[in-house]
Structure 1
Amino acid sequence: MNGICTLGNDYVFDQLVALLNSIDVILGKETPVCIYPFDDRTQRIADEIAKRPNVFLYKNQESIDRWDQFMLSAAPERLNRSKSRLYGAHRRFCAFDGPFDKFIYLDADTLVMNSLAAVFEKLDTYDFVVYDFQFKDVSKIYDVNSTKLLEVFEQKRIDSEIFCSGFYGSKKGIFNLEQKNWLISNLQNGEAEILYEGAGEQPLINYMVMRSNLAIYNFAQQLPDNQKTGCSATSKHFEQREHILYDKGTRLTYLHYIGIPPNINQAVCAGENIEFPYRDLFLHYRYLHEPEKRPVFKNPPKNYNESPTPSFLTRALRKLKLIQQG
């Protein structure tokens, strides 16, 4: 069975609902979706998906524990809740255990914009399928100043094989116990120094795929220029038609709201008039099935990266236990 995977907790609830609704519209309401728990804050998600028979939370605790232990052995500093806001991001790796034979993983802060059939089709001949332009910025994946980097990977591989971990297709079982132990051994023997210190699990999954010599396909590198599109909300030139985005006339596969932190979405959904790229598109999908709840803004708009969320709203969100005390 094939399916869609994502990762979340109640902190990203609004983004997750928007993603699920975009899957409903673009891929169909029967599309199976598995949500991997970022941490134990999933009650709002559980209540929401109770009315979505195609969506379920991953409950294989043995698998979750195995990947927690893998992360503890491979990159323990990334599990530090006080220092890393992405401390649970590695749990997306549970997709390599199941439940789908082939899967496409999407971050909660994405929207599906097109059929994903071509991605599943490429998994017939490749182990890993991506569609992004991360290869243009190696510095967010590997420490480019590490002298060991070129000992581990050839430059041409570094230039061509890295990817963003917000969207990828892969298969069940490609990282078995023996392979994981081998990767941990290499990391503990000094190769961990090549990993970029930030970005949660993203440097590690790149290392895992490349070090395992998996066959990777990137649509952004393989498609003709007149067929490839961007995917990031930082691109301002996308055109919207009937709640679908187009890049110079070509329909996007997905939109990734990179750089828009979840508390901005929470604030907007609570009625704060904070502008961010493609906000109306997000709100359309977030409130697709409950348009009467869509916020009506009464205050002048503010830009998301210019002014912080008001303190009273922060307190309200803490009261709802949607953000951590700190």
Structure 2
Amino acid sequence: MSRGIYITANNRVLDNAIALLNSIRLYDPEIPVILIPFNDDYQLIAETLAEQHGVQVYPDLEFLDRFTQVVAETFDRDFLALPNKMRKLVAWFGPLDEFLYIDTDIIVFEKIADNLNHLSEYGFLCCDFHHSGEKLKDVFAPLVKEQGIFTDAQLQDVFNSGFWASKKGTITEQQMYEVLRECAQHREYFDFSHGTTDQPVMNYMVLKLIEKRFNLVRIPGGGPGNWAGSKHFEEKDHILYDRGKRLQYLHWAGSPMRPGGPYRELWEHYRYLREPKPPTPTKPSSLQQLVNRLFPFMTARASS
């Protein structure tokens, strides 16, 4: 039985993907990792990750294109503006029997694929506190609860779609297309108010089709957090701890990843784990900035 990790990316998120893969390989040099191209602009990232980390490209690109076309034809563009964001769903039809899907705005702090051991008991895994924090926000509209589309117990299993695991064959291609059509007919079920795309639809699909689900933060004693928007994590030796509990991973998930953002220095550590970090551009002094604004011709002459 084959196990591995899927990511979805294109050249635009190359730095994030390098940071993620550097962290994965630090703890697990051998686990297969497969890149699902987000769009056709992926050659550079595919070559870079293949050379550095042995990452392979999803083998059936024709199916990937057909799947994306089906999604585009199923949903109106004002409902699902970016059908390519649904490409992560082809993980259920790829070469891996048991798989973990990870967004590229994540770094890990352990041999993360060991979580796949839980698939001996469950058909789907997630690892977050979405329900306890955000309730149904960014997933379902209130009427899903009001109309009993799902039970209260089911709705406690809503999840962030950036980190999850499942098994090939748990959802068939026919089942997926049927549920996608069902979702397209009921836009009123979903909360897209904060720009989520795949997450509401994927939650509906998983709650509808996979009965045995497990949230890894519900282990005995409770699991640690993982959102970069949480400011209380403590760092030791480039690993984060939540009140003494070692994080499995850190997910920015809407938190800014730019310089000055949360845990930026930690991200930079993993991004440049295997190569020298480029020097930080020097910022002109306040006086020099004032001179540049008042006398721009002097700056242009100096640089010519």
Smaller-chain TM-score range? 0.7 to 0.9
Identify the residue that residue 294 of structure 1 maps to in structure 2: 278
Aligned in 2, Cα 1:185/1:259: closer, same or farther, shift over 3 Å? closer
Aligned in 2, Cα 1:213/1:46: closer, same or farther, shift over 3 Å? closer
Note the 1:69-108 alignment, pairs <5 A. Answer: 69-77=69-77, 84=81, 87-108=83-104
> How large is the RMSD of aligned CA atoms in angstroms?
2.2
Note the 1:63-212 alignment, pairs <5 A. Answer: 63-77=63-77, 84=81, 87-136=83-132, 137=134, 138-144=136-142, 146=143, 150-158=147-155, 160-188=156-184, 190-197=185-192, 198-212=195-209
Letter in 2 for 1:230: G
Aligned in 2, Cα 1:74/1:141: closer, same or farther, shift over 3 Å? farther
Aligned in 2, Cα 1:62/1:298: closer, same or farther, shift over 3 Å? same
Identify the residue that residue 40 of structure 2 maps to in structure 1: 40
Distance in 1 (alpha carbons) for counterparts of 2:168 and 2:180: 20
Distance in 1 (alpha carbons) for counterparts of 2:181 and 2:16: 37
Distance in 2 (alpha carbons) for counterparts of 1:157 and 1:24: 35
- The alpha carbon displacement at 1:147 in A equals 6.2
Distance in 2 (alpha carbons) for counterparts of 1:53 and 1:248: 33
- The alpha carbon displacement at 1:56 in A equals 1.2
- The alpha carbon displacement at 1:214 in A equals 3.0
Letter in 2 for 1:42: Y
8 Å contact from structure 1 (residues 140, 199) kept in 2:
yes
The one-character-per-residue Cα deviations of 1:160-209 (angstroms, maximum 9, x if unpaired) are 11000010011112221331243134334x43320222301011110000
Identify the residue that residue 280 of structure 1 maps to in structure 2: 265
- The alpha carbon displacement at 1:279 in A equals 0.8
Structure 2 alignment gaps of length 5 or more:
285-304
8 Å contact from structure 2 (residues 124, 210) kept in 1:
no
Letter in 1 for 2:115: V
Instruction: Please give the TM-score of this superposition, normalised by the length of structure 1.
Output: 0.79
Is 58-67 or 124-133 further displaced after alignment? 58-67
Identify the residue that residue 28 of structure 2 maps to in structure 1: 27
Given candidates 228, 238, 248, the residue that maps to 1:253 is: 248
Paired residues in the alignment total: 279
Instruction: Please give the TM-score of this superposition, normalised by the length of structure 2.
Output: 0.84
8 Å contact from structure 1 (residues 14, 286) kept in 2:
yes
8 Å contact from structure 1 (residues 74, 187) kept in 2:
no
Aligned in 2, Cα 1:143/1:102: closer, same or farther, shift over 3 Å? same
8 Å contact from structure 2 (residues 24, 112) kept in 1:
no
The one-character-per-residue Cα deviations of 1:15-70 (angstroms, maximum 9, x if unpaired) are 01100100110222x22111111111112202312413521121412321342134
Structure of greater Rg = 2
Runs of 4+ in 1 over 6 A off after TM superposition: none
> Does the alignment pair 1:224 with 2:213?
no
Aligned in 2, Cα 1:200/1:261: closer, same or farther, shift over 3 Å? farther
The one-character-per-residue Cα deviations of 1:141-173 (angstroms, maximum 9, x if unpaired) are 0112x3686332122321x11000010011112
The one-character-per-residue Cα deviations of 1:102-157 (angstroms, maximum 9, x if unpaired) are 0111100000111225421111111101110111321210112x368633212232
Letter in 1 for 2:130: Q
